[in-house]
Structure 1
Amino acid sequence: MSEEAKWYVVHTYSGYENAVAATIVKAAENRKMQDLILEVKIPLETVTEVHDSQTKTVERKIFPGYVLIKMIMTDESWHLVRNVRGVTGFVGSANKAVPLTEEEILSLGIEKHEVIVGYEVGGTVKVTDGPLVGFLGTVEEIETEKSRVRVIVSMFGRETPVDLDFDQVEAVK
């Protein structure tokens, strides 16, 4: 069994996601298994709905019928989750739960990884990848949640804003 905590997806009856998540957290506390079941999340998105010229902001489940659990998979933790009322099973093959990959975790936004860049707004950077390789520019904006940077590059005597990934630029010393 794995010694490292990984994210797993649990399938639930639709509409029971909140109850299942709360029950799993409570059962882990009652059985003193917080060291095995670390986090329980229901991925939500904030949506603004417009009805009859009235706007309303609501939180909607991104994946109805699913709950995400960060846990260390043991027989004991598997049985705790599997036997919660409303859980139909782990996502995976047969009785084997398959953890999410690092790419899936990042794309879902479950875990945020802190990004440290060697430049700041107003700093000078050099483009290292893409069609503008070798161009120098000034950082106008840094979007850490999208891993993007907006750089003002001088092309043909004009200032042009260019959106690039963090790994496409490097700081100029």
Structure 2
Amino acid sequence: MATTNQKKWYIVQTYAGYENKVKANLEQRIATMGMEDKIFDVLVPVEEKVVVKDGKSKKVTKKLFPSYVLVEMVMEDQPWYVVRHTPGVTGFVGSGNHPIPLSDREVDDIMSKIGLSGSKKNNRPVFEMDLKKGDVIKVKSGPFEGAVGPIIEVLPEKGKVKFSVSVFGRDTLVEIDYIEIDKL
């Protein structure tokens, strides 16, 4: 096995549905075997979504990579052995006994998807709604309650839509939250 003294992120394959158990087992093994200076972080990448259907919103947590856990570690024989022989782990992603680390770009992409960029945590969930441009909606609460109009633009990253409504006889674009509207 090639030894590097650099900490990198590696992908560890687990049994299906065992991701959180592997994370807990590995964290316990790191502490009991004194590997804190070689294995730094264990992560089960999840994405939070708010699904709005029939006017009701529900928070849903979805694993980005089912059956995989990310481990930030220095790749040496001893830490490799600790991770590889953790209950529920089937192996590292790579060829044979040569795990391949994630590139910095891949790590950045994953961290931004799960809301961890750098050391700041961004807990803004992604909204998922069965709306599209042209759908007609009715506002059920807020200052435009009762207003009806077509959707001009859907903004899932904000959890809002832009729709056209008549104000004082003129069509006006209004941005409104998903939870304040019903699809007609």
TM range (shorter): 0.5 to 0.7
Instruction: Name stretches of at least 5 consecutive residues in structure 2 with no aligned partner.
Output: 120-184
Task: Normalising by structure 1, report the TM-score.
Answer: 0.62
Q: 1:50 to 1:112 in 2, by over 3 A?
A: closer
DSSP-derived class of the 1:109 partner: helix
Instruction: Name stretches of at least 5 consecutive residues in structure 1 with no aligned partner.
Output: 115-173
Q: How much identity, in percent, do the aligned residues show? A: 40
Task: Normalising by structure 2, report the TM-score.
Answer: 0.58
Once residues 44 and 113 of structure 1 are traced to their aligned partners in structure 2, the CA distance between those partners, rounded to angstroms, is 17
Once residues 36 and 63 of structure 1 are traced to their aligned partners in structure 2, the CA distance between those partners, rounded to angstroms, is 24
Once residues 72 and 24 of structure 2 are traced to their aligned partners in structure 1, the CA distance between those partners, rounded to angstroms, is 14
1:81 paired residue number: 83
Once residues 31 and 17 of structure 1 are traced to their aligned partners in structure 2, the CA distance between those partners, rounded to angstroms, is 21
1:41 paired residue number: 43
Once residues 91 and 63 of structure 2 are traced to their aligned partners in structure 1, the CA distance between those partners, rounded to angstroms, is 19
CA deviation map 1:105-143 (0-9, x unaligned): 1111266348xxxxxxxxxxxxxxxxxxxxxxxxxxxxx
Q: 1:38 to 1:49 in 2, by over 3 A?
A: same
Structure 1 runs (4+) deviating above 3 angstroms are 50-53
2:177 paired residue number: none
2:117 paired residue number: 112
Once residues 109 and 95 of structure 2 are traced to their aligned partners in structure 1, the CA distance between those partners, rounded to angstroms, is 22
CA deviation map 1:30-66 (0-9, x unaligned): 0011111100001110111235542111221111111
1:26 paired residue number: 28
The one-letter amino acid of 1:14's match is: A
Query: After the TM superposition, which residues 120-131 of structure 1 pair with which residues of structure 2 at under 5 Å, given as runs?
Result: none
Query: After the TM superposition, which residues 1-173 of structure 1 pair with which residues of structure 2 at under 5 Å, given as runs?
Result: 1-109=3-111, 112-113=117-118
Question: Relative contact order: is structure 1 or structure 2 higher (C-alpha 8 Å, sep ≥ 6)?
Answer: 2
